[in-house]
Structure 1
């Protein structure tokens, strides 16, 4: 039989109310009393009944985290930041992998609402269509009505009337910075491999690429813009298609570092030297960026900081009825995979 709070109180020689105060840390207790209670808890191996606590305090101690892809190092980095920050306040992180499926994402949101999660952090790019936005706003309002704080991480709010806080990444600004870097090196024919169509992150990073070329007075050659997803295989296949079609380019800018690694693989297989023949740049500054050779020029996104900021917003002093938007800056990281284009 599980040990009860009454048994802990008897072992420590105090009242059950005093044990509750020590465990919750919500009322001053004499140091000697606290030590007796903690010793009794250890000796009896007492574990707080989370369901009972939720009923009593209207809080579950659960932070729900819904990711597009738990195996992707981008999402893993953010999840690590969330879990670390949540653990520091004795909260349990529950990781849910939607695999980018909106229906699965909504199913997880409904489950977490049913389990009375203290907060839900929704991580990753969002579909850009009206049907999704309407459903997302409805879920956000449902979570708020249940007392659950919603934080959107790496995506914009689905609408002005959607309750919840937002941690957004300056994806467009980072893309402008890395495109400028290539232009300043002398590149004029830059191939761009995008992420999946209809996703907010894809749209913002592609917009930054276009904006930087326009700023430099350069036209975008749509033949050099290849749509894919955020995988290594997509980068390899995109560059293979560009080479097979005979397109002329001196640099490849990829939507993330995994795509860039695939581009490096395809160029090497075709006998191209990097960066002597073709420069390659990525985005996110994932561990992949320094695992490939030459090390990738990329855009640093502070993933763990983003996760921690999301927890801070979820449990900070802000008004749950208001929306706080925090934009996390990005930073250009220049390494060995970019150089000026070969002459001749």
Structure 2
């Protein structure tokens, strides 16, 4: 009769196992694992210990580590919507920075689970995260709760009145590059498919659009500005609005790449062609932009760098310190098929 017993699990490698095989005290192993800058051993000793760690596949006990240091070794990132491709780039940068610091990253969406900021404040109170990045639309009351918690937090790609802890992009410059590109092609009736009126990013991109139009000697027609949320459906509705005015624009600067997807669809639905009848350029460059029909001209913004820098500052600064940083590079126009001279 075959032996039906489950195979025994391999014994877990311990700190003592590594110390014994490397011929050092267990405290040396612990300090090598934690990259203690005050550890004074010969380079060959450190190399030998690391070799044994890799050979045995040793992994430190995260729970014990947290108890010793009173840290969770996890940061939180709160975003509005996982469906928006912009946040994937921000998450990527934040996750890389957290990993380099020996931390994990917990990400959640207010649009998906709808657990809200209060849930994250509860996690802070329970010591489950060491700090939070917020890319959502928290209210002033929510931020007051954060300040009272004494736990580090940073707003990502947005500012609120009275807040001195944020990392943002140079949206004004991105808008200027978009308008300048359209002007260089000969466009004068340039509309702006803007973001939500209450969003900080939308306000900054609209300000950049207005400044760039003025610099080019072009008037801003209020009828050439339509607001929409950062979704394809919102972009489609706003584009229909812009194309319905008596003298429709020959070019449209869209505040978000997701909105631009809907904008392109709206132009096609009206029997028009991009860029023959209207040119379209959008903020943020995604892989999908080159696969749209026509391929979408965009302004590439440093989203991954934004997430990375926000996490680094969250880790480096105390909860009372000021953080007001603008990530400026690289910002550039990626020219594709959706823009051309006016007909």
- Provide TM-score, normalisation by structure 2: 0.82
Equivalent pair of 1:21/1:29 in contact (CA under 8 Å): no
Q: Show the counterpart of 2:33.
A: 23
Paired with 2:140 and 2:254, the residues of 1 have a C-alpha distance of 28
SS for the counterpart of 1:262 is helix
Partner of 2:322: 323
Paired residues of 1:109 and 1:139 also in contact (CA < 8 A): yes
In 2, distance between residues paired with 1:182 and 1:37?
A: 60
TM-aligned CA distance change 1:299 to 1:36, over 3 Å: closer
Q: In structure 2, what is the equivalent of residue 154 of structure 1?
A: 157
Q: Report what 1:114 is aligned to.
A: 126
Q: TM-score, normalised by structure 1?
A: 0.82
Distance, in Å, in 2 between the alignment partners of 1:222 and 1:182 is 19
- The aligned counterpart of 2:261 is 261
Q: CA RMSD in A?
A: 3.0
Q: Distance in 2 between matches of 1:159 and 1:188?
A: 38
Determine the C-alpha separation between the residues in 2 that align with 1:33 and 1:5: 16
Deviation at 1:198, TM superposition (A): 1.0
Question: For residues 186-228 of structure 1, what are the alpha-carbon distances to aligned partners after superposition, in whole Å with 9 as ceiling and x for unaligned?
Answer: 3232332222231111111122222333344444333332221
User: 166-175 or 76-85: which moved more?
Assistant: 166-175
What is the rounded CA distance, in whole Å, between the counterparts of 1:40 and 1:96 in structure 2? 37
Q: How many residues align?
A: 329
Cα offset for 1:302?
Answer: 1.0
Answer yes or no: is the 8 Å Cα contact 1:297–1:333 preserved in 2: yes
Q: Per-residue CA shift, 1:245-302, capped at 9, x if unaligned?
A: 6552211221112212221122123222221211111111122321223332221111
Q: Distance in 2 between matches of 1:334 and 1:278?
A: 15
Cα 1:261–1:25 change in 2 (3 A) is same
Q: 2:334 corresponds to which residue?
A: 333
**Residue 276 of structure 2: aligned partner:** 276
Q: 2:125 matched to 1:138?
A: no
Q: Residues 136 and 103 (structure 1 numbering): CA distance in 2 closer, same or farther, change over 3 Å? A: farther
Q: Structure 1 pair 111/251, CA: closer, same or farther in 2 (3 Å)?
A: same
Contact residue 123 and residue 129 of structure 2 kept, 8 A: no
Structure 1 residues 103, 170: CA separation in 2 closer, same or farther (over 3 Å shift)?
A: farther
Q: What is the CA–CA distance in structure 1 between the aligned matches of 2:125 and 2:290, rounded to whole Å?
A: 40
Please state whether the residue corresponding to 2:108 is helix, strand or coil: strand
Q: Distance in 1 between matches of 2:251 and 2:181?
A: 11
The unaligned stretches of length 5 or more in structure 2 are 1-10
CA contact (8 A) 1:22 1:29 kept: no
CA distance in 1, matches of 2:59, 2:99: 16
Which runs of 5 or more structure 1 residues have no equivalent in the other structure?
none
